[in-house]
Structure 1
Amino acid sequence: MKWDQFIIIWQNAPDFIAATGMTLSVTVISFLLALVIGAGTGVARTGRNIFNPIFQVYVEIFRGTPLLIQLFFIYYGLPEAGIAMPAFTAAVTGLGLNGGAYISEIIRAAVLAIDPGQQEAALALGLTRLQTLRYVIFPQAVRIAVPPLMNTFSSMLKESSLVSVLAICEISRLGQLIYTRTFRAFEVYLVVGAIYFCLTFLVSRISRRLERRLRLGWFV
């Protein structure tokens, strides 16, 4: 192998930058969607309500089936039922629903980890359930939930490579396209792997800083 063969990477640098931006866009938007779904589902499942069976089915389905199959179903299967969406929307929806199922368990565990006596005391003092969650439970649950939530973000970042099956030109898809033109698998996939590593390493560093600040009480 000659190092000058990496010239193909330099020639495609603008495409790699654009693909990295697409990967980050899909991941961030999907994570925000998953956070909303997961928080709502997780909090709802800490109490008794008529929707709990539905939430349970949702969590079991999306945790018990491969993400790739979920993406295929949303993008290729739902149109047969009259529900069609662009590739980007399908990718975000699939990743968001899948991530939301896992985040719901993180939120649920974090809320249940708080001493029930605190909630009872807050209710006895006249706070409503929503006020109790807002001022008593959530601030403590956040400290517990942040580390696993950051791990989930890292996982979603790597799993975003699967949206290449929807013809979205993110990092993995671009690597495939360049490989089919150049047949330089070593150089192409070495760079693709390096980009994913750099992104996940950055997320890991941010996660550690957040955890440190939470331990020092800088937040919430």
Structure 2
Amino acid sequence: RGMAIPDETSPYGVRLLIRDYPYAVDGLVIWWAIERWVREYLDIYYPNDGDLRRDVELQAWWKEVREEAHGDLKDREWWPKMETVQELAKTCTTIIWVASALHAAVNFGQYPYAGYLPNRPTVSRRPMPEPGSKEYAMLEAGQKEADLVYIHTITSQWQTILGISLIEILSKHASDEVYLGQRDEPDRWTSDARALEAFKRFGSRLIEIEDRITKMNGDSASRT
């Protein structure tokens, strides 16, 4: 939405409007890898659009998503009709992206910034100072007085301890976490060799992307 435009000459199908945007640059490559994996997988079981339209369970699932889960938005024109494999691929890619790469980007990096609670207070215990009030006069009196007003307005000490603890927990990876492109026991997921090979290719692409991003992060020339 305003960050990129369709571009058939791009390997990823879109062109970023902001060049110096590392999150978008790296994220676009991961999105492409997810989309490619999803399409390879779907092509195994839906050789054509007709097969997808005849899948009663899939169509029932999509009807439930649109009409029950999002009943307030069910009549919006932007909903995919779920009549083509491409529509299903884009939908699945979006779901996987939000639950994996997007969530990781906004979640695991919270603590370095939000761990210092004045950067992102969880509550405001007082209304904003009005002109003519004692607090407003303190804001104008100097930095020390303004800091006191701020400290007495934002999260209390006890709430700060709870908030920072929660942010620290949210920012940590679980010891048994399984990452995108990995499965502890892939053979228990499916015995279809075609799907397993496609998933293996997906994992290999993600490893290549990870190595590339790691090298760029360590290269000062890549930082602006």
Report the structure number with the largest CA radius of gyration. Answer: 2
Instruction: Tell me if TM exceeds 0.5.
Output: no
Q: Please, what TM-score do these two structures have when normalized by structure 1?
A: 0.34
- Looking at both structures, which has the greater relative contact order when contacts are Cα pairs under 8 Å and sequence separation is at least 6? 1
Using the size of structure 2 for normalisation, the TM-score is: 0.33
From the two aligned structures, give the one with the greater helix fraction. 1
